[in-house]
Structures are given as C-alpha cells and as structure tokens.
Amino acid sequence: MGEDRSIEDVLDTIGDEHARTVLAVISREPRSAKELSEECDLSLPTIYRRLEILQEHNLVTEETAVADDGNHYNVYECNFDSTVIQLEDEEYRVRIYRKENIPDRFTQLWDDLSGE
C-alpha cells in the first residue's frame, strides 16, 4: 500500500458493502462493468464509482478486452490476494498482499542482488 493513502481511506473503501461485493466477484474472475452490474445487482453508476475508488487505492486493475465483434471494453480484476488489518499499540496497520508478477519479482530480486 502506498504511503500517500491514509489507513482510514483504505478501511473506508474496503468497509463499503458494495466495494466488497465487487472485490469478491472480480477476485474469482475478471469482469466488465456490465457483468459486475448484473452479477452484483447494482446500477452501472454504482459499479463505476466503486471501481474508481478501488482503483484510487490500487486494489483493482483495468485492462482492455476485445469482443468477437471487434468492440473494445474494459475488464476489472482484483490485484491482491489478501489484506491483514492489525491493531497494535493503539494504532491500525493495514498490509495488502499483492498478487506476484513473476517477471517483476525476478527483476526486483536481481536488482537486490546486484546492489542497485
């Protein structure tokens, strides 16, 4: 989690029932906003607002997909595996465990080994 995001903002985001519903659906399989609207039984504006907030906190990624007819649309995917919220010394700590990108992980390991 970036240091520029307050813990309160992240907790508010994942505390929102609609945001949690969206995250639960896209944690299983990437979905378009229209698919999310249908599966979550929420309006498209509600879906788009939750996706915007989740993207602000880097909890969701967006990719462009191409339909069989050539039209483009966006699909959304949860980009973390788990979240741990701890209360320690009267202070909350939020740890978000990201899905590993193997090439990025290898590059980071190589950089660490080469002292960069």
Taking domain 7-114, whether its CATH number is 1.10.3720.10 is answered by no
pLDDT digits (tens, 9 = 90+) for 46-69: 999 999 999 998 889 999 998 899
Side-by-side strand order, sheet with 72-78: 31-32, 72-78, 60-66
pLDDT of residue 2: 44
More confident residue, 99 or 26: 26
pLDDT of residue 51: 97
User: CA nearest 64: which of 76, 55, 73, 54?
Assistant: 73
pLDDT of residue 67: 87
State the Rg of the chain over Cα. 17
**How is residue 68 written in tokens?**
């069989």
